[in-house]
Amino acid sequence: MTETEIIDLFGEPEQKFDEPSRQYYYLGRAGVGVDDSLLRLSFDKNGELESHDVSHD
């Protein structure tokens, strides 16, 4: 998927960085409400999704 397709699907990300191209979406509280879950998306130079992961910060 492209960056534009993902924004169309999920809306504007909570955070967006240009170098390297990354987006962060807040997913809510994890477990017993102590940690936040974030969906992290990275894009290549052509705007195609390169990698993704979910972190619990």
Residue scoring higher pLDDT (57 or 45): 45
**Is the CB of residue 26 less than 8 Å from the CB of residue 36?**
yes
pTM (predicted TM-score)? 0.77
> With pLDDT > 70 as the criterion, what percentage of the chain qualifies?
91
State the chain's mean pLDDT as an integer. Answer: 86
Cα 5 to Cα 23: distance, rounded to the nearest angstrom: 13
Tokens standing for residue 8: 């169309």
Instruction: For 21-34, write each residue's pLDDT tens digit.
Output: 888 888 887 666 67
4-40 as b/e: b if 16+ CB within 10 A? eebeeeeeebeeeeeeebbbebeeeeeeeeeeeebbe
- Residue 49's pLDDT band (cuts 50, 70, 90): very high
